[in-house]
Amino acid sequence: MGLVELVLLACLVKDPGHCESFHIPFQAQMNMAQCVWQSQMHAAQWAGDHPTWAIRRFSCRFPET
């Protein structure tokens, strides 16, 4: 297990052509399967906290060093 992050690709609701990637590190160490299992819940929470953005896709990955 190690540090894994959730990567969201989100676009502005009012300007769908403006998209950005957001890297959200998990607070606890977990493996990739655990990240995938928890990613939908965390993506939904992020979307609720950022209503001006629409998530296009999300994935789990190990952070770049």
Express each pLDDT in 23-46 by its tens digit: 998 877 888 888 889 899 999 999
Report the b/e string of 24-36 with b at 16+ CB within 10 A.
Answer: eebeeebeeeebe
Give the start-to-end residue ranges of the domains of the chain: 31-65
What local confidence, expressed as pLDDT, does residue 65 receive? 60
Which strands form 53-61's sheet, in the order they lie side by side? 19-25, 5-12, 53-61
Residues in the chain: 65
Q: Which of 30, 28, 54 is nearest to 43 (CA)?
A: 54
pLDDT surpasses 80 at 2: no
pTM, two decimal places:
0.83
